[in-house]
Amino acid sequence: MTAVILESTLTCPECGHAKTETMPTDACQWFYECEQCHAVLKPKPGDCCVYCSYGTVPCPPIQERGKGGCCSS
């Protein structure tokens, strides 16, 4: 089994600002405020969290169990 990656770089779709954040392992993060333009990011339809929509790495539950492994299931 591959180790779970806990850091993901979120990129704001509004202004392009990117920031590396540590993902929570015990909850889905549904909202994230861009520190540059203050847009509030929300998951795209079909995604469970902002990391799956805007991050370089999907959230830990998705990494471990695939699409059905996160909070939406």
pLDDT in the model for residue 70? 67
Residue 46 lies in a domain: yes
For residue 69, name the pLDDT band (cuts at 50, 70, 90). low
CB 49 within 8 A of CB 71: yes
CB 6 within 8 A of CB 25: yes
Residue 53, both tokens: 């929509």
Residue 1 lies in a domain: no
Residue 41 lies in a domain: yes
pTM of the model: 0.86
Residue 2 lies in a domain: no
Q: Which domain holds residue 30?
A: 7-69
Residue 54 lies in a domain: yes
Based on the structure, what is the number of domains in the chain? 1
Percent of the chain with pLDDT over 90: 71
Q: Nearest 5°: phi and psi at 22?
A: -90, 125
